[in-house]
Structure 1
Amino acid sequence: MEVNKISEKINSSPSCILLFSGKRKSGKDYITDIILERIKRENAVMLKISAPIKSYWAETHDLQFDDLMGAGEYKEKYRQDMIKWSEGVRRQNYGYFCEAAVKMFKAHEKPIWIVSDIRRKTDLKWFKENYGSAVKTIRVVADEGIRKQRGWIFTEGVDDAETECDLDDVLEWDWKIINNSNESELEKQIQDILSAIENIMHL
């Protein structure tokens, strides 16, 4: 992949960008899927920064893209190699995959963006530099025991790497979601976010 500026001139800007981060098995995908389902589909799009990485990896290594994007064990076989390769790309252009995801998912056709896999301070930086006050940040947190129940196993080179740890010392989030399998508590937290979106969008 040639690493250069992908940029096209932005014709329209989103009204609300929700940036979600959290540890593996914290429930980011589960929560973002719920929020996308609750918002009218014509108003929102789901972006995954990992999608351009996995798309390239699937094409160049004859792998199944859908399986790499899934939550199963398939992607875990290739996770460390994908991380190593993508870090080399980011060293040349820290916003490369953020911008690639915006293009890949045709995000500018929708006013609300849900980004389910923010992992680095540079991801936050890129979105805030380009979209300013439209950006809202959400940290999803789950107890380690709960994450283990969901299938998380500590993996050296993954769980102690930048992809999992770079945002650990970020303290300022617009929302912090506690996702410890308490459905009523989770529902209240999701409703708080949906209400804020409604106020922004006047839906």
Structure 2
Amino acid sequence: MARRIIGIDPGLTRCGVGIIDVAAGRKLRFVHVSVIQTHADQELSERLRIIGDGLEAVLDEFAPGAMALERVFAEQRNLNTVMGVAQISGIALREAALRDISTQLHTPSEVKAAVTGYGRAEKAQVGEMVRRLLGLKEAPKPADAADALALAICAAWQTPVSSARSASRLHGSAAAERVAAPTKAQEAWLAAERAAKSRGRRLG
């Protein structure tokens, strides 16, 4: 049975939303992509309402079972941007909790590694790989849309890779052979995940 995942690239001006289905054998299927937009001259409360209403509508229409959000380190962006991302992330997490949707947080480098195999890939490279992986005619635009789908793809590939490693540890090589081996991009994602956890331990 396919698992439906929503990826959200949070932002006050443009909030990317991408939804995919993932079936056995890591088969991906495009479902939906959109960008919820607000304007800087609007009151903050109004901007948050617009984005909250937009996310609520998408979640109710497509009923995903999992959500992937971008995790941003404060030193990577200016303070205003970080605050906007945090505010939208809070809204998304609340909506997920209300619907009992499991959530994952991924750094940009983790997502880039999962999709392209390289944690410092340019946005154009990410968009092109998203296009290829989902069989689209062109890369989703703006970049927020492609990033949202990339987040969903990253989350889609996390569980199968973890399952393969767990099967190998618990049941030996025979069981592991029944689970598809991780791709190079997924191996790179695991490396990025380990690096992020290592940084977190050093900062803690």
Between Structure 1 and Structure 2, the one with more strand by share is: 2
TM-score relative to the length of structure 1: 0.32
Given the two structures, how large is their TM-score scaled by the length of structure 2? 0.32
More helix by share: 2
